[in-house]
Structure 1
Amino acid sequence: MNSSYYYAVELDLVCICVFFVVLINLWRTGTKLRIQMLSILTMVIIQCVLDIVTCYMSDMHSGDTLTLQDVCKVNHDLFTLLYSLKSFTNLLVPYAIFYITYNFTADKIASKEAKLVLLSIPFVALSYLTLSSPISGHILFLTFHGEIVHGRFYSLLVGTTGFYSVLGFVNVLKIFSSKKDLFRNITRAPIDEICIYSAATLPFILAPVNLLFNVSIVSPGYAICLLYLMTINLYMRISIDDLTALNNRNELTAYLDNLMNLNEKERSSTFMLFIDVNKFKHINDNFGHNEGDVVLMQLSRLLKATAESFNCFLCRYGGDEFIMIKQHANEEKAVNICKFIDDSVTRLRDLSLAPYELSVSTGYVRFDKRFRSPRDFIDAADKLMYETKRNAKKNYTHFNKKAPVKISI
């Protein structure tokens, strides 16, 4: 096997290994789109296998080998069939991605089915031309000298592949836009956002290029994209709360561990706010858990906007409890944040016209040398939040270095 074919096969084998890693990980996630994603992975694996086989046959049965041996007539037909199947998978994968993302983004479109049928006509036509190509030669055919030559409709195959790549890419961008709150938590630097969009774009660019220049570069593109997205998925499962799309307790632990490494001056200017929804059990018991989830999602959006305004770390600690951490602050700033949260929740309650009382209790504490672990810090803020909850007046409670003090608002 010559070197070019050898490296192509080697690259395909590496891609297959990556696809199987992603496949196993995806199977364990239990996500709603698991079956659809597994079907795309299976198609891409088949595409790699066909590429390996056609590379091997191109090397072993090229040139005079095909012309001088009658027995090679079988290999001739088989090679043409496999090459046609490989071209078909180049069309099938972008269409499958388009089909899945279209159904995901067009749930509320009344004429969804009609538009899908209309947009699928080119795929059906090119599928017929490609799969019948070993007989008709419309897309490609093998010459007497063992060379693959593009047929008269090959440019239509390239164009149709590009067409579905563009449609799939547009749908992926719509999905990203609808999940912008979720992606905002994982794109903390501009380079993160660039990497996500580059990974999502790469396969759609390479799919038509793969056919246009007859090079096997689309499989590495899919491998890079899927491996990167799998890494993001793992991070989200570990660090992001499913319901609110906020940081979860694991991310809080990592953040507090970093705070423990700060010097005393930096730690003393760090405040933790512990926020709890009042009478949340009453809302769940009398209006249902779905309504309770709506409350948590609305409150999480409100707290996220507050955290962005005051440059705070925010996480859902569990149940109806949230934690906000503000660095480089003083007690006045901590009280102002508490007041801002309370006023915002009051406006939310008035606008929502909910048949129940919506309010929160907030306690804050300064991070100083008395706290030797993140657990001590959290427990202190939790204790003071419950002290605020027990008060009839709206008080925000904090720890002074000498004794607990209440600040009445």
Structure 2
Amino acid sequence: MKANKKLEMLSMKDGLTGLNNRRSLDKQLEIEWKYAQEEKEPLSFLLFDIDYFKAYNDTYGHIQGDECLKEVANIAKSVVFDESAFVARYGGEEFGILLPLANQYEAIKMAEAIRQQVEQRAIIHQASDVFKGVTISVGIMTVVPSENIQLISIVHGADQALYEAKRTGRNRISVYSHHKEADSNV
């Protein structure tokens, strides 16, 4: 019985970073979505990844790439100032942060704090076209869930915003809005 519990717990964690994994994020998203829908409260999702990470791996090797992933994960964990937040490795060099009850302003504040901390950590990245240190790009979507909106839309919106942040120069935050993308040039 104890072994099963331990296996289940391990299957919800990312082995490299120690963060929650994609599977546990998906489960938590369902729980928080239902709660936000019932309470008519906002829910924010941040999706971010390391800029030019493939070039980083090609330059410094996969062992150093793993160290970089761990460092960025630790920064995200340490910066998240909301204990209800759910930080996860989404896959590869992508990370997701679920912020229950957080409005768009609070989500942007959190994203900017993480972006700044990663940049200030100054992890050398000579292959980056943005900065000579590791940087991240962040996509944000905030929504008050309703019957008309599907759960997956919050992930798709954050993903589209992340793509926009990368398209417009990286090392920045982009916020998804239903009408258009809004940029935060940092």
TM-score computed with the length of structure 1 as normaliser: 0.41
Summarize the alignment of residues 370-385 of structure 1 with structure 2, pairs less than 5 Å apart: 371-373=149-151, 375-385=152-162
CA-CA distance at 1:353 after TM superposition: 4.8
Q: Which amino acid aligns with 1:365?
A: M
Match for residue 82 of structure 2 among 306, 310, 320: 310
Q: Which amino acid aligns with 2:150?
A: R
Larger proportion of helix: 1
C-alpha spacing 1:355/1:397, structure 2 compared with 1 (3 Å): closer
Q: Which amino acid aligns with 1:362?
A: V
Deviation readout 1:8-40 (Å, 9 max, x if unpaired): xxxxxxxxxxxxxxxxxxxxxxxxxxxxxxxxx
Unaligned runs of 5+ in 1: 1-226
Match for residue 387 of structure 1 among 164, 175, 183: 164
Q: Are residue 252 (structure 1) and residue 30 (structure 2) matched? A: no
CA-CA distance at 1:393 after TM superposition: 6.9
CA-CA distance at 1:408 after TM superposition: 3.4
> Which residue in 1 is equivalent to 2:65?
292
Q: Are residue 396 (structure 1) and residue 173 (structure 2) matched? A: yes
> Which residue in 2 is equivalent to 1:66?
none
Match for residue 241 of structure 1 among 14, 27, 32: 14
C-alpha spacing 1:261/1:280, structure 2 compared with 1 (3 Å): same
Deviation readout 1:370-399 (Å, 9 max, x if unpaired): 5313x3221211111111011137542223
Larger proportion of strand: 2
Question: Aligned partners of 1:306 and 1:401: how far apart in 2?
Answer: 28
Summarize the alignment of residues 208-219 of structure 1 with structure 2, pairs less than 5 Å apart: none
> Which residue in 1 is equivalent to 2:130?
none
Report sequence identity in percent: 25
Question: Aligned partners of 1:394 and 1:280: how far apart in 2?
Answer: 12
The structure whose RCO (Cα within 8 Å, separation 6+) is larger is: 2
Q: Is the Cα–Cα contact under 8 Å of residues 334 and 364 in structure 1 kept in the other structure?
A: yes
- Which structure has the larger Rg? 1
Question: Aligned partners of 1:394 and 1:354: how far apart in 2?
Answer: 13
Summarize the alignment of residues 10-409 of structure 1 with structure 2, pairs less than 5 Å apart: 227-228=1-2, 230-264=3-37, 266=39, 268-307=41-80, 309-311=81-83, 312-349=85-122, 352-353=123-124, 355=126, 357-368=133-144, 369=146, 371-373=149-151, 375-392=152-169, 395-409=172-186
CA-CA distance at 1:354 after TM superposition: 5.6
Question: Aligned partners of 2:50 and 2:78: how far apart in 1?
Answer: 17
The 3-state SS of whatever aligns with 1:379 is helix
Q: Is the Cα–Cα contact under 8 Å of residues 270 and 327 in structure 1 kept in the other structure?
A: yes
Q: Which amino acid aligns with 2:149?
A: F
Question: Aligned partners of 1:267 and 1:348: how far apart in 2?
Answer: 38
Q: Which amino acid aligns with 2:139?
A: G
C-alpha spacing 1:324/1:266, structure 2 compared with 1 (3 Å): farther
C-alpha spacing 1:381/1:283, structure 2 compared with 1 (3 Å): same
Q: Which amino acid aligns with 1:389?
A: K
Question: Aligned partners of 2:54 and 2:62: how far apart in 1?
Answer: 9
Q: Which amino acid aligns with 1:233?
A: K
Deviation readout 1:60-104 (Å, 9 max, x if unpaired): xxxxxxxxxxxxxxxxxxxxxxxxxxxxxxxxxxxxxxxxxxxxx
Question: Aligned partners of 1:322 and 1:388: how far apart in 2?
Answer: 15
CA-CA distance at 1:326 after TM superposition: 1.1
Q: Which amino acid aligns with 2:82?
A: F
C-alpha spacing 1:401/1:391, structure 2 compared with 1 (3 Å): closer
CA-CA distance at 1:330 after TM superposition: 1.8
